[in-house]
Structure formats: structure tokens, C-alpha cells
Structure 1
Amino acid sequence: MAPPKVALRVNTGITTRTRTIHCSNPHQMETLNKGIGDKINKIIRGKRKADCSPSKDKIVKRSALGDLTNNGENNTNTDGGAKIAKTIKKLTVQSKVLPSVKTVQQKRKPNENLAPPSAPVANKITTRATSKVPTVYPSQTAVKPKEKEKGTGVVATTKKRLSNEFEKTDKEESLYSSALEEINDSTYFSAKRPVTRSSKASTGSLDDSLKDSTCSKESNSLSFVAQQLQTKLNLGAHDVPEGVTDYDKENWDDVYQVSHYAMDIFNYYREKEKDFQVGDYMDKQVCLTKWMRSLLVDWMVEIQESFELNHETLYLGVKLVDMYLDRVVVSKETLQLVGAASMFVASKFDERIPPMIDDFLYICDGAYNRREMIRMEINLIKVIGFNLGIPISYRFLRRYARCGKVTMPVLTLARYILEFSLMEYETIRIKDSLLAAASLYLALRMKKVSMWTPTLEFYTGYKLDDIKNTVLLLNKSISKPAKSQIMTVKNKYSHKIFFEVAKTPVIKDEDLF
């Protein structure tokens, strides 16, 4: 028998996925521990990231605001390396006997006489088939092998799955029918064979015809209800003007496009935007400045790259920070904690496998402890009213690009403009749908593809005059000289995997319209 495997949990700083190394020989642990750091660094990553962006194999923990915060006594994590867990637990597996099939034995008292063979013993095991339970005698197993019937030579092929988990009555046996039971071929094909007039005339029974009529009535009633529901809710029914490409109609049968509900979903998003408006909160934040917020957002982009999170998580995290700062006055020492807790909550909402709380504590460079992180998470959710279904600009941009049928380089440039705008404080009061439309228009003009088309005007709901001021603001933000402290977004979109859209030359305001 092979020795039990021992699992090592390796703490490599950022542990978004659990890395477990198995060793079949416990005596080789000491040798394995020496070279475990080198082996972890050689793991091939599944995703590529931009140049100059932080990677998991390097120490990326740092302060979000530089010398402004995190200089307290809590910053005690100075080892800078991965530590191997001291406690090694051995995993042992115990075999468990399933109680589904057992030998039926009748317990008797010592002085009780054995019952004659003619008296059957009460059996509480019921089969999942609808057939009658056979008589079982003491010291006789409940499951019998295939036996030939005497005098007939026909093999009994009926299988019965026995279980003593439930004590079912005769009426309840049909509810627990087993998939292992074999059905007679003649019964199966007679039930599935389509009914014809000749067969009805030959058999003279009306059961099959009644079943067919019942099924047709049910299908007709269901289709009628579906049509009435779609008409009543006005799902997918929108009039498209002339000269506008009906994107939803073209992809009506594509289940991944949800063309039946896409228009209604984004119309609902547009209506909900007014519930998540953010005001000019920097005047009441005594200890904070716009530059501090830009540094924090740049650090959150670095977290999104390091943990390989979705872009929706980043946009939701920044939105949570603005909503919290709009309602609560915080100090500069707590600002990074608000950003980490916002990314933690957004990861739980949008990620399939969110990072652990220890990962966020590690990337904060030991500035906060677990209790402070959990308390900030609770306070953040209470302040925003437990409402995380916030319409974010990234979702609007993806919808507009699909309807406009723009190419991937143009869409990536629009994403760069929109992500760069997260660091601009002047954009927090603009609607997310308007920001997405302005970013897409600016990308179209920078790539010299087209102007504002009637299709984009219809699906976005904004005319060119509505987005002019926002386009000028975004063009001004990406035209400014880049500062060395907030270069994460520019370095990210300068990689070939993002078509190097950050290197696209900007255009003058006079050439935009």
C-alpha cells in the first residue's frame, strides 16, 4: 500500500489559486523545501500581460500613495519572500461502506426459536421498480444474479436497484424509479412509435390518439402563453429607423447575444444610472486630494493586472470607491484600505474564483490587518446599501461596439481611453453610458474610421451634440504628458496583445468634429 500523500501549501505572496505540491515520500520534504521557490517561479502562466506591468512571480506589494500613507507601525512585513507553512497535515482517507445493498439478516433473541422455512421474514427493503418485491429469507442476499427460469430457458433480464434509504409505500414507488431498470423493448417502442391511422384501426384503442391530442394542446398552449408574454412585456420589439442596422435581428437565433432581451436590459441600465450618481465630494474630504485619488486608481489597475481580474471588477471597484467617498469622510491613511476593500467586494461579485483576503493584505504591504479589512468591507457594503448591480461604462462600451460592428483595434483603443479616464476626477459626475459613447467616438476619430453613424446614435441614445463636451474632456486627458507615478494603464495598453493602442497619436480638438 502506498504511503499517504502529504500536501504542502506554499505561500508565494499572491495566491489567487491554491498551489499544492504532493510528495509521496515524507523523508524528501527537506530537499523539496530548498528548491520549492525556484520551481514556483518556473510555472508557465496561462495569460500574457503587458510589458512593465507587475507579475505574480515578483513582489508587487507596495503602498498605493507612496510616502503619503502606510508609514505607521503596522508595516512590519519586511521579509519580502515566500514562507513555507510550518505545519504539515497528513491526509488520510477512510473507506466507507455504502449502505445501498446489504445482506438481510433477522435479529433474534437467544431463546427465540428459528422460524420455519415456510414463514418468510419481514423485509423492509423496497425496490425502485414497480414490480412486486420478492420474498427474502434469513441469510439470503437481497440481490440475486441472473438465473434461468426453470422449464423455460429464458434468462430473466429485469434488474432491480435496492436501497434501504427510504421506506416507501406502493404508491410512492413510482416516484423513485431507477435509471438502471431495463424496460421491455416492445413496451418502449410501442410507446415511442408514432401513431398512424392504420395502427389505430388495427388496434381499435384510442389511448394513443388521446395522448397525442393532449400533447399537441399543451404545446399550443405553451407557445400561445410565450407569445402573449412577449407581446405584453414588449420584449425584443423595437422599431429600427431606416438606415440603421438591426443588430439584434441579425443575431436573433444566437443564444450568446440574448437579442430577445439585450435592448431591454440596457434600457433598464440607462434608467438605473440616476440611482448611482456621484457628487463633487472632494470639497468635503479634508485630508484627500485629486492626485491621491489618481494614485489610488492606478494602484487598483495594478491589482487587476496582478490578480488577472476581469475589467468589470476594476470598473466596479473604482465606482465603489467614489460612492463611499461621496458619503463618508476618510483620512489619507484609510484611503488605501477603502480601495482594497472595494476591489475585494467587486471580486466577489464579478469573479468566478475571487482572490483571498490574505492576498489583499499582502499587496497592501502589511499596512492593515485582517480585522480592519473585514470591518471596512462590512462598512462599505452598508454605506452603498447592499446594491452592487451598478451600471458600469465598460458594459455599455462592449454593447455599443458590437452594434456598431467596430474592429478589435478600435474597440481596444476605446477601452484604453475609458480606462485612462478612471484616474480623472472630472469624469465621476458623468453618466457611464455617456462616457462609453464618447470613448468609442474618440477611438473612431483617432483611427480615422468613421464619424458618428445613425446605428451608433440609435443604440447609444446619444446624438453627436450630446457627447461633444465629454469627447473634448477625454481627448484632453490622454493628450497630457504622462507622469511616472501613474504609468500602469499606458504600459498595459502599449503591449502587442493590446495592439499597442496607447501609442496611437492623438488628434487636435479641431479635427474631432
Structure 2
Amino acid sequence: MASKRQELVSQQQKGGIPPVGKQKAVAVAADAKNRRALEDIGNLVNVRVVEGKLESQVNRPITRSFGTQLLANAQNVVAAAAANKKPVTIQSDQVDARVCAKPTKKVAGKSKEEKKGEIIVISDDSNEEKKYEAGRSGRSRTCRRSSGKKVSSLTSVMTARSKVACELADKLKEMVIDIDASDKENQLAVVDYVEDIYKYYKSVEHSCRPRDYMDSQVEINAKMRTVLVDWLIEVHYKFELMPETLYLTLYIIDLYLSTEVTLRRELQLVGVSAMLIASKYEEIWAPEVNDFICISDRAYTREEILRMEKRILDKLQWNLTVPTPYVFLVRFVKAAECDTEMKHLVFFFAELALMQYSLVTNCPSMVAAASVYAARCTLKKSPLWTETLKCHTGFSEQELLDCTQILVNSHAAAGEGKLKVAYKKYSREQFGAVALCPPATKVMEELKASRN
């Protein structure tokens, strides 16, 4: 009875139960064969397909040695196929379900017999590689189509931006003229480090400027200072001194008055002593003390001048190496590519600036740049301000408008006022009579209107 029950279970697992009339014959045949262990009943291999016919099932159990043999046979067949470069058909009895690592997928629409006799086709390796490359290119094309635009990496974007920035910088360099190109053979022009010198001047000009000192002075005012400067410009012209001497003289006066309260009767003495100090610093042949006594109509003695000289030097702590407006004028005139007429007009405006107390606290570089800008406006140069001037001065037109307005107004009033030494000086043919040029009043009005 037990063996009969086992045969019924086996028939159920195989897909059906034999007819009732044949159950007895099946049991007798089963008893005649050697009995198998229960765990080997399910070790059945799929039906083989040979010449379109179904072969009987193989009920042999898969032992370790038999599995190894099946795997070796399959590898030999694959190796032969690779040598012949042809697709190979492997029958299902050569590779057992236990030996294969990946199970085959179910195919819809097939019968049970077709599923059992399914044939595994192994294609050539070269074909597989071609399919892989085709699939990868197809995926990349699909990604590009789906994105709708080219995707750029961060490196490519930054490289492109850097390239554009370099091109803009190169264009600006082309617009800025090399003003030192003609002086490369001149050792006194120090072309190799002239830019470094002016960078240093720009950095220290703020630390040595006079303050607004008129409120602290008791007996003197801005008008008295203007009278003194007008007289010193005439003395400087009569002594035929260097331009540097005049600008250093005014720096010494303003810095001394910033630190010391001065009486009205001593103001001219301060001016005379300051010019004596500047002459000793800048001139090769400086005027003597007696020359200053005579030029001041003996208002002061030798001892008073030398005493004031010592007092000024003590207040300034003997520090006379400072960037005056003249230092920047020389550089900015070169950057403006001035002709003789424009050069005289620039220095005319610079001397007018010395007389304006409102410009005392301004940086020397701004006063020099405003003098150049006022001269270009007076002569109606086009353009009024170039990239070369902007590069070397460090100022734009908008930054110079207020200071330039003061200079233009001073030019317009110079011919009618009482203090006209600078006006008469630059009205001579020696200086091209540039003071007689019409003031740039209308140009300044247009510039201020455009700014507003």
C-alpha cells in the first residue's frame, strides 16, 4: 500500500494520474524496478527535442560527478562554437537546471511541452559586444534627445568665462597706451619700476595731508592765505626756481599751519621760511637768506627767518619727502599725451588750485587729475577722458567733476580779480598765452546736467 501511494504521488508530480484500469499495472512495474529515495523523485530533466520528436524523460539523479561532466560538456560546446564563430544550440540535457546559475524567464503563449523542451541559444561574443555598444549609444542619444539641450560641465563653463574675461582684459590693454615705450632707453626714466613708484605715492598721499585748519586759527583766514600764495608764485617766478619748489613750499605752509597757531604778522614769515626750506631741498643753487630779506622788503631779519625755519622743521619732524601735486602732474601729463599748449594749460590750472583753500584737504593726485581734465575741457579734446588717463590716474570723469568745477570757476574769475599773478604769468607768450583761452563753463554745465 505504501508503494502504491508513492506511485500516485509521483504521477501527480509528473502532471497527471493514470487511468483506473492501469493503476495496478503501473504498481507492478514500479515494484520490479529498484526503489529510489524520496528526495530523488523530483530530479527530472526537461524533455529533449531531437529531430522534432520528444524523447523520454531522464530520471537519473544529479550527482556531483554527473553535474561536473554536464558542465564540462557545455563548456566544450561553447569553446567549439567560439572557434567556428557560429551560434551554438545547447540541448537541455547538457546543462541541468541545478548547474545553471540564472533561471530562464517564462515566455507567454507557449505550451507546457515547448517550455519543457526550450532550447538555449548562445550567440557569438562579437555580436554581444556590438549589441552592447549599440545599446549604449542608443541610450546616450536618448538622453540627449530627452534633455533637449547640451549639458556642460562646471569646468567647461568656468574655462569659457575665464577665456571671455581674458579677452576683455586684452581689449582694455589694447586701449591703454604704453606711455613709457619711448623712454625704455632712458635710464633716468626708470621704466622698469616707475609704476611701482607711483603706486607707493598713491598709498602714502593720504597719510601726509594737511587738515582743515582755518577754524583753529585766530588771526588768519582763507583770504590771507590766498594773498600769500599769490605773492609766493610771483617770488618763485622771479627767482626762476624749479616747479617742484613751489609745490613743496605750499605743502610745508599748509602742514605747519595745521599744527601751529600763527599770528597775522608772522604769516609772510612762514611763507618765506617755507620757500627757503623747499629751495634747499629741491634746487641745485638755492637762494640765500639775504635774497628773501630783500624780496620781502626787509620785513624780517636774518635771525627771524632762520628761527622760523628751525621751528617749521621741528613741527614737520624733518619729513620733506612727500608726494606733492607736481609729482602726479608729470605722470598725468605724459598719460594725456599733451602738446605744448595743453601742458602749459595743465600747469596753469594746477597753480590756480594752489590758491584755493577748499582744495587743501584734497589728495594731490586728485588735484593733478582735475587740472588735466579741466585743460582738456577748455581745449575741447575728444574724448575728454581716455582709458589711458583713467588707468594711470585712477579717477573717472564723475569723480573729478566737483574739483574741476572749482578750477574752471577760478579760471573764469582770474582775469577780473585783484590776485592775478598766475593769470598774468600764463598770459605771456612764454607759456602760450593759455590763460586767455575761454573758460570751459558751458562744458562743465553740460557735464553736470548729464550727471544729474
Query: Which category describes the TM-score, using the shorter chain as reference length?
Result: 0.5 to 0.7
Q: Which position in structure 1 is the counterpart of 2:111?
A: none
1:502 to 405, 429, 435: 435
1:400 aligns with 2:319: no
**SS at structure 2 position matched to 1:480:** helix
Structure-2 change in CA distance of 1:502 and 1:512 (3 Å): farther
Cα distance in 2 for partners of 1:321, 1:462 equals 27
Matched, 1:303 2:235: yes
Q: Distance in 2 between matches of 1:481 and 1:273?
A: 29
Aligned match for 1:477, one of 410, 414, 429: 410
Question: Which of 251, 276, 284 matches 1:319?
Answer: 251
Cα drift, residue 252 of structure 1: 2.1
**Cα deviation per residue 1:130-169 (whole Å; 9 max; x = unaligned)?**
xxxxxxxxxxxxxxxxxxxxxxxxxxxxxxxxxxxxxxxx
The letter for the 2-side match of 1:510 is E
Q: Deviations over 1:304-329 (max 9, x none)?
A: 01111111101110111000000000
Residue 425 of structure 1: aligned partner: 357
CA distance in 2, matches of 1:481, 1:357: 32
| Residue 189 of structure 2 corresponds to residue 244 of structure 1 | no
Of 367, 379, 393 in structure 2, the residue corresponding to residue 435 of structure 1 is: 367
User: Matches of 2:403 and 2:282 in 1, distance apart?
Assistant: 28
Q: CA deviation at 1:484?
A: 5.2
Tell which has more relative contact order, 1 or 2 (C-alpha 8 A, sep 6+).
1
Q: How far did residue 452 of structure 1 move?
A: 0.5
What is the letter of the counterpart of residue 254 of structure 1? N
How high is the TM-score relative to the length of structure 2? 0.59
Tell me: CA distance 1:382–1:408, structure 2 relative to 1, closer, same or farther (3 Å).
same
Any idea what SS the aligned residue of 1:377 has?
helix
Structure 1 residues 253-402: aligned runs within 5 Å:
253-402=185-334
Q: Which residue of the partner structure matches residue 420 of structure 2?
A: 487
Aligned residues: 276
* Match runs of 1:152-171 below 5 Å: none
- Is 1:494–1:500's contact at 8 Å kept on the other side of the alignment? yes
Q: 1:344 to 1:483 in 2, by over 3 A?
A: farther
Question: 1:256 offset after TM fit, Å?
Answer: 3.3
Instruction: State the Cα distance separating 1:251 from its structure 2 match.
Output: 2.8
Structural mapping, 1:72-221, within 5 Å = none
Give the letter for the 2:365 counterpart.
S
2: CA distance, partners of 1:472 / 1:300: 24
Instruction: Structure 1 unaligned segments of length 5 or more: list them.
Output: 1-237
Indicate which of 448, 453, 466 corresponds to 2:386.
453
- Bigger Rg, which one: 2
- 2:122 corresponds in structure 1 to none
* Offset at residue 349 of structure 1 (A): 0.5
Instruction: Provide structure 2 residue ranges, at least 5 long, that are not aligned to the other structure.
Output: 1-168
Compare the two structures and name the one with the higher helix fraction. Answer: 2
Q: Provide Cα deviations, 1:457-495, integer angstroms capped at 9, x if missing partner.
A: 001111122212111121122222545541211110000
Conserved? CA contact 2:374–2:440, under 8 Å: no
Q: How far is 1:353 from its partner? A: 0.2
Q: Secondary structure of 1:355's match?
A: coil
- TM-score scaled to structure 1, two decimals? 0.52
Amino acid at match of 1:309: L
> For 1:273 and 1:261, how far apart are their aligned partners in 2?
19
RMSD: 1.7
**Contact 1:248/1:260 (<8 A) preserved:** no
State the alpha-carbon separation in 1 of the partners of residues 300 and 414 from structure 2: 34
Runs in 1 of length 4+ with deviation above 3 angstroms? 481-485
Distance 1:316 1:302 in 2: 15
- Cα distance between partner residues in 2 of 1:415 and 1:260: 27
